Amino acid sequence: MPDEDLAHRTAVVAGAAHPIGRAVVAELAIRGASVIAVDVTSPCEARDRVIGVVAGHRPAEFADRAIAACEVLGATPDILVTCPLPITHAASVHLGLTALVRDGGAVVNVAEAPAAPDAARTAAVALSGLTRLMTERLRARAVRVNGVLAAGLADEDRPAPVLPPTPVGRPGWADEVARCVAFLASPQASYVAAAVLPVDGGLGLMRPEPSGYWHRTTLRTPEPALAH
């Protein structure tokens, strides 16, 4: 079990009913944080240090329910984690919830890239753009914003995705993503900002051909400079 490096911190996890969201809620609680888990469906099972909040389907209501839960606790969140959400919620919720975060806090945006190459590339660009935008908006408050781009995951409800071989040689699991999220939210990542961490078993080495098929990128060692 990791040290409770997030003790005395409060976290809001949006999208907590998603498999990644559930794993993030559990990981943050294990590390000592008090967690407000928010989603449009029942976000999690009851457990110590976790409050589940069922939000409405409108983005504004989603944020309002999270704010109300924070007020009940009398806490200002140190951490905001936004896990995969329906497209109608995503951008509005990500940006609307940032007002909750304490100055000097941390935001981690999490996205799951689809298996289709073009869609995966679009997801990466979108997550990077959102993370950079939020960094600029929150820089005056010294809030660190980072992203995690997951791909190639399996869980109890979904079979392993059909993907090309990866350096890891297997699909990933949500708890592996959650540990990376917890790191970025923790004091150990205090000088990491505006970064997007791929958690994909090495799928980032694969690049789509124009035909839509994947191929492995050849990694070249730079030639040594010639002496003059």
Predicted pLDDT at 219? 38
* Domain-embedded: residue 225: no
DSSP assignment string, 35-49: EEEEESS-----BTT
Distance between CA atoms of residues 123 and 113, nearest Å: 6
Structural domain containing residue 185: 10-202
* Domain-embedded: residue 209: no
Identity of the highest mean pLDDT range in 18-32, 33-47, 84-98, 115-129:
18-32
Name the percent of the chain in helix, strand, coil, to the closest 5: 35, 20, 45
- Mean pLDDT score of the chain: 82
In the chain, where does DSSP find H-type helix? 19-30, 59-73, 90-96, 117-138, 174-185
Predicted pLDDT at 206? 65
* Domain-embedded: residue 207: no
Predicted pLDDT at 191? 98
Going by pLDDT thresholds of 50, 70 and 90, the confidence category of residue 222 is very low
* Domain-embedded: residue 63: yes
Distance between CA atoms of residues 146 and 132, nearest Å: 8
Instruction: Give the phi and the psi of residue 221 in degrees, each rounded to 5.
Output: -85, 130
Please state, in angstroms and as integers, the Cα–Cα distance from residue 192 to each residue in 12, 55, 176, 186, 195, following that order: 20, 31, 19, 10, 7
Give percent above pLDDT 90 in the chain.
46
Going by pLDDT thresholds of 50, 70 and 90, the confidence category of residue 214 is very low
The least confident of 23-32, 75-84, 203-212, 219-228 is: 219-228
* 161/168: higher pLDDT: 168
* 157/32: higher pLDDT: 32
Look-up of token digits 């967690």: 35
List all residues 6 or more positions away from 207 whose beta carbon is below 8 Å from its beta carbon.
Answer: 214, 215, 217
Residue 176 sits in a domain whose CATH number is: 3.40.50.720
Predicted pLDDT at 221? 42
* Domain-embedded: residue 216: no
* Domain-embedded: residue 227: no
* Domain-embedded: residue 226: no
Q: How many Å separate Cα 154 from the centre of its chain?
A: 16
Predicted pLDDT at 90? 56
Q: Average pLDDT for residues 8-14, to the nearest whole number? A: 94
pLDDT over threshold 90, residue 24: yes
pLDDT over threshold 90, residue 142: yes
- Sequence length of the chain is 228
Q: Is 145 helix (H, G, I), strand (E, B) or coil?
A: strand
Token pair recorded at residue 24? 């993030």
* Domain-embedded: residue 107: yes
Give percent above pLDDT 70 in the chain.
78
- Tally of structural domains, the chain: 1
Identity of the highest mean pLDDT range in 26-30, 150-154, 208-212:
26-30
The least confident of 36-40, 64-68, 108-112, 211-215 is: 211-215
Bridge partner residues of 73 (DSSP): none
Could you tell me the pTM of the whole model? 0.85
